[in-house]
């Protein structure tokens, strides 16, 4: 089988259309669940059970003495908060796009004297940024509509014995909407850009230098996507964790309220944060990985004999298009075969999504590799590369991603010993809980790093830096499914809060908590995928950078060069600097949140017996939402500038040798930190949920063991949802900036300060 140009176009366009249609169908199915009707039956207890009165928002008590908010009212509060934050964030991002685009245009135009190429690079940058914004907004928008419907599905399905099945189905489809929409949009926009750029360089179709210039300009698409991911991950991460930490410390630890109790003023901000950080931010992160790995592969291929072979150049897009079809078969087929009827079925159902999609994608990759590439060719620093070499490079990336995900599950799921060990450590207090959790996170880096090392070795051995680039594409080839299971977690988390705030039975909360516990694991798996792909993408972009500044005659970076070695140390330090900024930002914002919640609780009446009477208390949710919004927008500036300016300053002043060292140093230390932080935080969260579910005999919510677990979870929040996942952006964004600005940097040895030192 050999792909013609028409066949390439047909597969890419059809895949994009199928992805968008799938997202539209799932959206219609989700919105068909009506949350505006009379759902009193969903709030009635199914079995005799004692529940504490739920009091909130000044509503009158019902006949049972309970207080609650209407389902659609809660959903509207969350939607309003999410929209308010994204509106403010995108205003800031728009200013950044304009200023950074202008800088990019001036620097590239002045250095290359090709203003047309500079303009197209800026156009690609804006296209990537806008696509990322749209994709993130779609994901956030459907998530805030799905979480309330997940809670309602659990409540309505309980009577028929299908609570788990209906709630799981609704939440998974909510995550799948973003997965399919994001991948389809990213794919079709990148393909359109390729066609437009080809028209500009058409008269130089047989010119290798023109092909190189075209794909270097196209790399602006990845830069735009990752720039938005930086603000989405950092800003959204600060928002969600400021609200979460504030709500936990002031509401749960100090006031003794239940999780998501509507009397807690920070509870809406907490739920909003799950959507803007874990949905919109996470989607932007993985969109950036897709765009950057695709651009890196095309930049490297354009320097080889494949530069005029349209099918070979388009190989990254073909993998993504085929992955949409495989993801569709998996997302529809697995729930039909594996029903989620009980708590024990939840994690296996999600795991099967990963395993089945990986198995199905493997022969597809084999067919594409043989249909696209010649039997033997030269590329990057590799000679006599066979088409089956490319298959192995992509396949090992694909399977490494799966095993990284399964390893992450082992270390973050309370179904396995590591998290249960952390739970038992809570018996002696928060200190031992934190010690055990940190140890777990450090240990969890071992297998993923081995897998990444093997993948990098095979990729480099078989196909040079191009092998690394397509290995990263292998991890991301089933991105629609990966995003679906990643988005599923925050949706279930919100569903549990909504169930409690709307007065649904405890049995509903048990379902949503079980789904959420699995969601914490899948979110950690998603972060594992993101970190693994970020490491490979960063190395692939490093290869593209080296190709641009040193030529295609081998990697001319000498680690013993003084500037390179100094750059290694500086680069290895950057993830620590970045993490310090983001974690301190969460602490500052959480401090403001705790003060606000305490101030509101000061107005609660105290009865004669010393207990607080919340009957007439009105929680002011908007003040807490405003605090998180303002703090996150202010605090994301410093870490953003650190990432954006470091490679530019180092490249211009200290030269490309120093910059090469910075990129490698940041990659080496950043991967370890990201894995450890994400898994430590995920383990603490699930250790708390394991105790709440009665996993430790004799322990319950509100006891000393549970409080120790809550403290660990609170400490882990900024690790797993802010600094940890944000490190993906650091290592990728610095690398793609180096690629895009590479043509404007001085020749090796000629940095402004390098000449005098």
Q: What's the per-residue H, E or C state across 115-135?
A: HHHHHHHHHHHHHHHHHHHHH
When pLDDT is cut at 50, 70 and 90, the band that residue 62 belongs to is very low
State the Cα–Cα distance between residues 667 and 670, nearest whole angstrom.
5
Q: How many CA atoms lie within 13 A of 401 on its CB side?
A: 35
- pLDDT: is 552 or 146 the higher one? 146
Q: Is the pLDDT of residue 49 over 60?
A: no
**DSSP 8-state secondary structure symbol assigned to residue 719:** I
Q: How crowded is residue 554: how many other Cβ atoms within 10 Å of its Cβ?
A: 12
Q: Which two tokens stand for residue 420?
A: 């249960």
When pLDDT is cut at 50, 70 and 90, the band that residue 42 belongs to is low
Q: SS3 letters for 89-117?
A: HHHHHHHHHHHHHHHHHHHHHHHHCCHHH
- pLDDT: is 388 or 722 the higher one? 388
pLDDT of residue 240: 78
- Tell me the pLDDT tens digit for each residue of 732-757: 889 889 888 888 877 776 777 777 77
When pLDDT is cut at 50, 70 and 90, the band that residue 69 belongs to is low
| Most confident stretch, 196-205, 382-391, 500-509, 555-564 | 382-391
CA-nearest of 457, 522, 454 to 491 is: 522
pLDDT of residue 67: 47
State the Cα–Cα distance between residues 617 and 5, nearest whole angstrom.
67
Q: Which two tokens stand for residue 677?
A: 């932080």
pTM (2 d.p.)? 0.87
pLDDT of residue 434: 94
State the Cα–Cα distance between residues 248 and 587, nearest whole angstrom.
13
Least confident stretch, 20-34, 424-438, 682-696: 682-696
Phi-psi sector, 703: left (phi>0), alpha (psi -120 to 50), beta: beta
- Tell me the pLDDT tens digit for each residue of 564-604: 999 999 999 999 999 999 888 888 888 888 888 888 888 77
pLDDT of residue 664: 92
| Bridge partners of residue 612, in order along the sequence | 606
pLDDT of residue 267: 82
Residue 143 makes CB contacts below 8 A (sequence gap 6+) with: 174, 175, 178, 275, 279, 487, 490, 491, 494
162-199: b or e for each residue (b if 16 or more CB lie within 10 Å)?
Answer: bbbbbbbbbbbbbbbbbbbbbbbbbbbbbbebbeebee
Share of the chain above pLDDT 70, in %: 91
- Tell me the pLDDT tens digit for each residue of 291-321: 888 988 888 888 888 877 888 899 999 999 9
Q: At what angle do helices 621-635 and 267-275 cross, to 10 degrees?
A: 40
CB 491 within 8 A of CB 282: no
Q: Is the pLDDT of residue 409 over 60?
A: yes
Backbone angles phi, psi at 663, to 5 degrees: -65, -45
DSSP H or E segment with residue 382? strand 382-386
Q: Is the pLDDT of residue 61 over 60?
A: no
- Tell me the pLDDT tens digit for each residue of 150-208: 888 888 887 777 878 888 899 999 999 999 999 999 999 999 999 998 887 776 556 77
State the Cα–Cα distance between residues 561 and 629, nearest whole angstrom.
45
pLDDT of residue 43: 52
pLDDT of residue 52: 33
Q: Is the pLDDT of residue 82 over 90?
A: no
Mean pLDDT of the chain: 83
pLDDT of residue 53: 33
State the Cα–Cα distance between residues 503 and 499, nearest whole angstrom.
6
Q: How crowded is residue 693: how many other Cβ atoms within 10 Å of its Cβ?
A: 16
pLDDT of residue 66: 43
Share of the chain above pLDDT 90, in %: 29
CB 279 within 8 A of CB 490: yes
Question: Collapsing DSSP states into helix, strand and coil, what is residue 504?
Answer: coil
Residue 542 makes CB contacts below 8 A (sequence gap 6+) with: 465, 660, 663, 664, 667, 735, 738
pLDDT of residue 425: 92
Least confident stretch, 2-16, 213-227, 742-756: 742-756
- pLDDT: is 79 or 444 the higher one? 444
**DSSP 8-state secondary structure symbol assigned to residue 45:** -
Cα distances (angstroms) measured from residue 507 to each of 44, 338, 384, 459, 687: 11, 23, 62, 50, 21
- Tell me the pLDDT tens digit for each residue of 326-356: 999 999 998 888 888 887 888 888 888 889 9
Q: Which two tokens stand for residue 189?
A: 């926009």
State the Cα–Cα distance between residues 29 and 142, nearest whole angstrom.
11
- pLDDT: is 242 or 323 the higher one? 323
503-526: b or e for each residue (b if 16 or more CB lie within 10 Å)?
Answer: bbbbbbbbbbbbbbbbbbbbbbbb
When pLDDT is cut at 50, 70 and 90, the band that residue 482 belongs to is confident
- Tell me the pLDDT tens digit for each residue of 356-384: 999 999 999 999 999 899 889 888 777 88
Query: Mind giving me the DSSP string for 278-301?
Result: IIIIHHHHHHHHHHHHHHHHHHHH
CB 136 within 8 A of CB 283: yes
CA-nearest of 187, 170, 138, 221 to 18 is: 187
CB 313 within 8 A of CB 298: yes
Torsion sign across C-alpha atoms 539, 545, 547, 550: negative
Q: How crowded is residue 609: how many other Cβ atoms within 10 Å of its Cβ?
A: 6
Query: Mind giving me the DSSP string for 204-254?
Result: GTT-HHHHHHHHHHHTHHHHHHHHHHHHHHHHHHHHHHHHHHHIIIIIIII
In whole angstroms, what separates CA 645 from the centre of its chain? Answer: 23
Q: Is the pLDDT of residue 63 over 50?
A: no
């Amino acid at each position: 089988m050999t792909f013609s140009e028409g066949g390439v176009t047909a597969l890419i366009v059809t895949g994009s259309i199928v992805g968008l249609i799938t997202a539209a169908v799932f959206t219609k199915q989700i919105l068909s669940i009506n949350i505006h009707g009379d759902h009193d039956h969903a709030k009635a207890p199914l079995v005799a059970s004692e529940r504490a009165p739920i009091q909130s928002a000044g509503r009158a008590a019902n006949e049972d003495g309970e207080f609650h908010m209407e389902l659609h009212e809660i959903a509207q509060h969350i939607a309003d908060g999410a929209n308010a934050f994204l509106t403010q964030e995108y205003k800031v991002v728009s200013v950044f796009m304009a200023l950074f685009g202008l800088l990019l245009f001036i620097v590239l135009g002045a250095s290359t004297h090709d203003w047309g190429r500079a303009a197209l690079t800026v156009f690609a940058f804006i296209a990537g940024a806008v696509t990322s914004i749209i994709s993130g907004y779609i994901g956030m928008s459907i998530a805030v509509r799905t979480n309330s419907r997940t809670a309602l599905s659990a409540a309505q399905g309980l009577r028929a014995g299908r609570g788990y099945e209906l709630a799981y189905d609704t939440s998974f489809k909510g995550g799948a909407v973003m997965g399919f929409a994001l991948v389809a949009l990213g794919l079709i926009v990148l393909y359109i850009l390729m066609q437009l750029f080809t028209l500009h360089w058409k008269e130089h179709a047989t010119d290798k230098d023109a092909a190189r210039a075209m794909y270097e300009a196209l790399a602006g698409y990845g830069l735009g996507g990752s720039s938005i991911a930086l603000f989405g991950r950092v800003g959204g991460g600060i928002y969600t964790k400021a609200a979460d930490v504030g709500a936990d410390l002031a509401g749960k630890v100090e006031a003794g309220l239940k999780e998501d109790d509507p009397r807690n003023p920070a509870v809406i901000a907490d739920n909003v944060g799950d959507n803007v950080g874990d949905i919109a931010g996470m989607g932007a992160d993985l969109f950036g990985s897709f765009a950057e790995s695709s651009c890196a592969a095309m930049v490297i291929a354009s320097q080889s004999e494949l530069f005029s072979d349209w099918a070979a150049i388009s190989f990254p897009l073909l993998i993504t298009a085929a992955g949409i079809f495989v993801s569709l078969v998996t997302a529809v087929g697995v729930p039909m075969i594996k029903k989620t009827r009980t708590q024990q079925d939840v994690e296996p159902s999600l795991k099967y999504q990963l395993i089945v999609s990986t198995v199905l994608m493997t022969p597809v990759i084999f067919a594409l590799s043989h249909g696209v590439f010649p039997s033997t060719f030269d590329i990057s620093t590799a000679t006599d590369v066979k088409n089956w070499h490319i298959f192995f490079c992509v396949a090992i990336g694909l399977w490494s991603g799966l095993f990284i995900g399964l390893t992450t599950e082992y270390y973050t799921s309370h179904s396995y010993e590591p998290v249960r060990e952390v739970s038992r450590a809570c018996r002696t207090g928060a200190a031992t809980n934190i010690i055990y959790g940190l140890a777990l996170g450090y240990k969890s880096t071992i297998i993923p790093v081995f897998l990444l090392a093997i993948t990098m070795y095979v990729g480099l051995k078989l196909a040079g830096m191009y092998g690394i680039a397509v290995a990263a594409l292998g991890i991301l080839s089933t991105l629609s499914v990966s995003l679906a299971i990643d988005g599923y977690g925050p949706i279930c988390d919100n569903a549990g809060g909504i169930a409690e705030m709307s007065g649904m039975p405890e049995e509903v909360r048990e379902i949503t908590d079980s789904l959420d516990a699995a969601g914490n694991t899948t979110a950690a798996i998603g972060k594992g995928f993101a970190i693994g792909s970020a490491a490979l993408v960063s190395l692939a972009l490093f290869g593209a950078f080296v190709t641009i500044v040193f030529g295609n005659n081998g990697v001319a970076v000498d680690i013993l060069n003084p500037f390179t070695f100094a750059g290694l140390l500086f680069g290895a330090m950057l993830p620590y600097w970045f993490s310090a900024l983001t974690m301190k930002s969460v602490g500052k914002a959480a401090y403001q949140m705790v003060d606000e919640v305490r101030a509101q609780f000061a107005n609660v009446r105290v009865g004669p017996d010393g207990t607080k009477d919340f009957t007439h208390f009105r929680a002011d949710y908007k003040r807490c939402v405003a605090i998180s919004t303002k703090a996150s927008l202010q605090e994301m500036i410093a870490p953003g500038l650190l990432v954006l300016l470091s490679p530019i300053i180092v490249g211009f002043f200290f030269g490309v040798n120093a910059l090469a060292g910075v990129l490698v140093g940041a990659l080496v230390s950043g991967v370890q930190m990201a894995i450890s932080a994400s898994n430590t935080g995920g383990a603490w969260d699930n250790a708390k949920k394991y105790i709440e579910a009665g996993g430790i005999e004799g322990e319950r919510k509100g006891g000393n063991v549970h409080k120790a677990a809550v403290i660990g979870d609170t400490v882990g929040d900024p690790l797993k949802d802010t600094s940890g996942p944000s490190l993906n952006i650091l290592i990728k964004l610095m690398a793609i900036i180096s690629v895009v600005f590479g043509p404007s940097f001085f020749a090796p040895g000629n940095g402004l300060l390098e000449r005098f030192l």
